Amino acid sequence: MTLANLRLSAAALLIGAAVALPASADFAPQNPECIAPANPGGGWDFTCRQVGKELQDLGLISKTMQVVNLAGGGGGVAFAEVVNKRNDSDDLIVAASSSTATRLAQGAYPGNTLEQVRWLASIGADYGVIAVSKDSEIETLPQLLDMIAEDPRSVSVAGGSAVGGWDHLKVLIAANAHGIEDVRQVKYVAFDGGGEAVTQLLAGSVQAFTGDLSEAKGFVDSGDIRVIAVLAPERLDGEFADFPTAREQGVDALGANWRGFYGPGGMSDEAYDGWVDMINTLYASEEWKAIMETNGLAPLDLSGDEFQAFVADSVAQIQSISREIGIIK
């Protein structure tokens, strides 16, 4: 697969089909818990907290969702915790995304594979962004990429995924589209979550940020950062309409990050069906549609076996891409 094909396949991630599964009214988590595999402030944290709040507000769970931030290894610490210590928990779900698929594809979770957990459902897709601090002299994406082309050491780009992870791949896709032949020259600095990466941007430790719209939005609203490119095929609607796309600046780069959940591999069928049904009901609600619009999430509605197959396909695609750019052999 070529990087050009990756850009096309990223757009395809935004197309989903609703899956109706049997309701599991008999299942009710006693102590609902969501692991966010990063520090507070990033996309996984957003996924756990927003979904947990809405599940309770809609009456789908009777108790407050406990959110546990378990950072490390680009999600690997959380994955190993679930596989090795929480494998039979019916009350536990874990936030996942394209970053999770990327790390699995690259063998970054030693000894762990996607088949060791049960993939529940997606709750939308998040377009990638590239941003700078409010005081930065960088005004456009081509300007940033030209600086990297001229002197790769002069520009550091921070992201919330590990080296070789999805945030890293997004900036490599943009660099490749701009004509930078050896994208391995791009200086990427990995942090445990998008919130920490933005903090380093604001501190002046790095010159740019690569992440997703949902995790950047709060910092945009506060006026701390400026989005110089959205990796979407066209400008978004509403409050995001002022953000320029990479494509309109002559950089044909697309990047969509799916968001969803997995559960322990030993989770009971009753619990699995119950969580899938709850997430499906949440996704179909007007309340969740409003949250998606507010946070720039695009439609992606997959669950159960179809979501499992989607994740497997994502892992296979990313393995091919990672070989092409030399991240894995």
131 and 111 inside one domain: no
Domain for residue 329, yes or no? Answer: no
At residue 278, the pLDDT reads 97
Q: What is the CATH number of the domain that holds 245?
A: 3.40.190.10
148 and 160 inside one domain: yes
Domain for residue 76, yes or no? Answer: yes
DSSP 211-260: EEHHHHHHHHHTTSEEEEEE-SSS--SGGGTTSPBTGGGT-----EEEEE
Domain for residue 162, yes or no? Answer: yes
At residue 298, the pLDDT reads 87
200 and 310 inside one domain: no
At residue 163, the pLDDT reads 86
Neighbours of 64 (CB within 10 A): 12
At residue 182, the pLDDT reads 86
At residue 247, the pLDDT reads 96
179 and 221 inside one domain: yes
Question: What is the Cα–Cα distance from 298 to 236, expressed in whole angstroms?
Answer: 10
Domain for residue 287, yes or no? Answer: yes
Question: What is the Cα–Cα distance from 34 to 51, expressed in whole angstroms?
Answer: 9
138 and 243 inside one domain: yes
Domain count, the chain: 2
At residue 25, the pLDDT reads 57
* 8-state DSSP, 305: H
55 and 85 inside one domain: yes
Q: Which amino acid is at 204?
A: G
Domain termination residue (choose one: 191, 218, 249): 249
Phi, then psi, of 135 in degrees rounded to 5: -95, 5
243 and 301 inside one domain: no
Domain for residue 136, yes or no? Answer: yes
Domain termination residue (choose one: 206, 221, 249): 249
159 and 244 inside one domain: yes
221 and 261 inside one domain: no
Q: What angle, 0 to 180 degrees and rounded to 10, lies between the N-to-C axes of helices 98-105 and 166-177?
A: 90
Q: Which residues contact 223 (CB under 8 A, 6 or more apart)?
A: 134
Name the residue range of residue 244's domain: 127-249
The bridge status of strand 187-190 relative to strand 208-212 is unpaired
At residue 2, the pLDDT reads 43
Question: What is the Cα–Cα distance from 257 to 243, expressed in whole angstroms?
Answer: 18
At residue 214, the pLDDT reads 82
138 and 245 inside one domain: yes
Question: What is the Cα–Cα distance from 70 to 92, expressed in whole angstroms?
Answer: 13
Domain for residue 38, yes or no? Answer: yes
Give alpha helix (H) positions in 60-161.
76-85, 98-105, 141-150
Q: What is the CATH number of the domain that holds 20?
A: 3.40.190.150
228 and 264 inside one domain: no
pTM of full prediction above 0.85: no
Q: Render each residue's pLDDT in the chain as its tens digit; 329 residues.
A: 444 343 334 434 443 333 333 344 579 999 999 999 999 988 899 999 999 999 999 999 999 999 999 999 989 999 999 999 999 999 999 999 998 999 999 999 999 999 999 999 999 998 999 999 999 999 999 999 999 999 999 999 999 988 888 899 899 989 989 999 888 889 999 998 888 999 999 999 999 999 988 888 889 999 999 999 999 988 988 888 999 999 999 999 988 889 999 999 999 999 999 999 999 999 999 999 999 988 888 889 999 999 999 999 889 888 877 887 778 88
Q: Which residues contact 270 (CB under 8 A, 6 or more apart)?
A: 24, 26, 27, 90
Task: Decide: 301 and 14 in contact? Cβ < 8 Å.
Answer: no
Domain termination residue (choose one: 231, 249, 267): 249
Domain for residue 67, yes or no? Answer: yes
With CA atoms as reference, report the closest residue to 321 among 147, 129, 165.
165
230 and 288 inside one domain: no
Domain for residue 224, yes or no? Answer: yes
